[in-house]
Chain A
Amino acid sequence: MSIIDWFAKREKNTVDTTEKLNIPGHLWIKCDHCQEILFQKDLKDNAHVCPKCGFHFRMVAMDRLALIFDPASFVPEDENLGPTDFLSFSDSESYTDRIRKAQAKTKRQDAVVSGMATLNHNPISVAVMDFSYMGGSMGSVVGEKITRTIERGLAKRCPVVVFTSSGGARMQEGIMSLMQMAKTSGALDLLGRAGIPYVSVLCDPTTGGTSASFAILGDFNFAEPGALISFAGPRVIEQTIRQKLPDGFQRAEFLLSHGMVDRVVDRRELRATLSLVLDMVWGCPAV
């Protein structure tokens, strides 16, 4: 075989292989945990939980709302609130540019979706954080929308449910991000005094200023299996103490065993669990 033949053969082989794998990439996904190749639709039909190993994939806000609440019951609120670069913050990129990119990517103003939905026809004031928008970080808009979600629960006298997924306070809004912790937690003081239930569903990941405010203050704290939930991130701790962290450290199951969450709830069971506890404390019967 001449070298030219060899090249021709190799090229032919390449074409063959490409043809075989010429399936749109977004139809298939590999499970991060068990490495199983999954059909996207199967995954979606299974609440974005790996059918083989039970690994919980991150979920976009609208899918989550559709999964938990009554079909088409969600009505968004405060969609017009948008972030602004009031500190003129600039690192390798300006905050303005980061906002623009995140908005283009997620098609939303900031890292949280909020509004009213129903669960078994009972009204719920709900917010869902979106990790894909600047790591779900909490700046003024996130703090404001969470606070308004709590206040809507107060005004309408209905339970408040928040799904958290956030790296913590947003550095680009400096001290104002920190103050959102006090604002949101303060609103929960009012909600608690009014005797209205608040459920926090901690999703992967919930860390920093978000974990140290409204995320951990639920009357019920439910965590998704395997979710990273921490105050200080694992890397920060490793750098501080200069030793390897134990397996499973700061995962949902670790928080359960240390008394920080009520239950670790499989996503496919979450609607039923929410319905049950809210009916028990508030009277939201499943119709």
Chain B
Amino acid sequence: MQYKSQMVAKPYFIGALVLFVAQILFGLIMGLQYVVGDFLFPHIPFNVARMVHTNALIVWLLMGFMGAAYYMVPEESECELYSPKLALIMFWIFLAAAGLTVVGYLAVPYATLAKITGNDLLPTMGREFLEQPTITKIGIVVVALAFLFNLSMTFLKGRKTSITTVMLLGLWGLAIMFLFSFVNPDNLVRDKFYWWWVVHLWVEGVWELILGAILAFVLIKITGVDREVIEKWLYVIITLSLITGLIGTGHHYFWIGTPEYWQWLGSVFSALEPVPFFAMTLFAFNMVNRRRREHPNRAATLWALGTGVMSFLGAGVWGFLHTLSPVNYYTHGTQITAAHGHMAFYGAYVMVVLTIISYAMPLMRGRAANSNASQVLEMWGFWLMTISMVFITLFLTGAGILQVWLQRVSTTPMGFMATQDQVALFYWLREGTGLVFMIGLAVYLFSFFKDGKSAA
């Protein structure tokens, strides 16, 4: 670690991991409710557990991105952060807002939460992933603006690299697209149309810039390959991401009342969306193979390679599986979507945040890498979580295929609930695998407390 102010990343990473635990716990609750429907009812109804599960994911990934940016930008800019104090204040505001929102979800019925936070003044609640009270959304905007101000000032006074340029473009894009969460027309088609400007243009747009920048930063550090080579790869990857992903938004515009030419545009462009992810896989492996040094942090290398592979499988392959409109006609809104969502989020965004944490945390704790014993545990965590996620995805895919067949393809279609009963076995298998994921997460977290110092 070269600059004192990079330390502000630490609370962000710790906060992210705490929310990660909450996310998985609520995921297990929901997974069980799929088969034991009345589990914890009426105390934690499914919709509440799901809000905590998805919102915790989004917030901890954002915290991870922020931590990554606070760590990377001073080092790349070769100067101290503009205001470390502002960064720390914003961390506590962000954590408090997230905590209060979760308490709100759990403590009172959602309608009450909507009422006491004045949702009727500016209705933004009750839409998937954007369930946060309007006041929380405003809080997110304030935190994001302060964060971007802090980083942009740092960027402007220091060395400007391709990595920080791309990272800041991604983060500014993230903040700007989030403003569409305040757009909620009464017209349902227009509501859905612009809702995707937040959701799709985040995860299949600007977030890919952030992902690419973080991966490029870590690869420069652990492989010692020329910056010139890595930055060229980075630009090629993000170019491919945006030229496929922007019009690729059309794969969400098949069945929501939008014109039917989107079926062609969405199918063709989103069928190309695996290409940038495949480039990312090649990138990670190429750079590691051409490494000019043996970095002692082998765990970070494993996470970086894992991100390359799993983002391609989850976002690329599982996305392609149901992205062509004639296929999507049958799979839209089934467990196939859930299967893709799980592996794509894990493979791309969870893993890249864990990559930067793996690389940066030992440095912030005063060592180049953790002890061998600690790294071995961390790698156990990697494999347990990653393999579990592969099986969660496979079981959900099995559930989805059966669901599509029974409910939509069959000449005597079954009702939704009757179909759910038929696929229960897959849900049980998914829940069991989810428990293994939790064990993997526990092992991973334990590695932070395992005598990291000795023989680094």
The answer to whether A and B belong to the same complex is: no
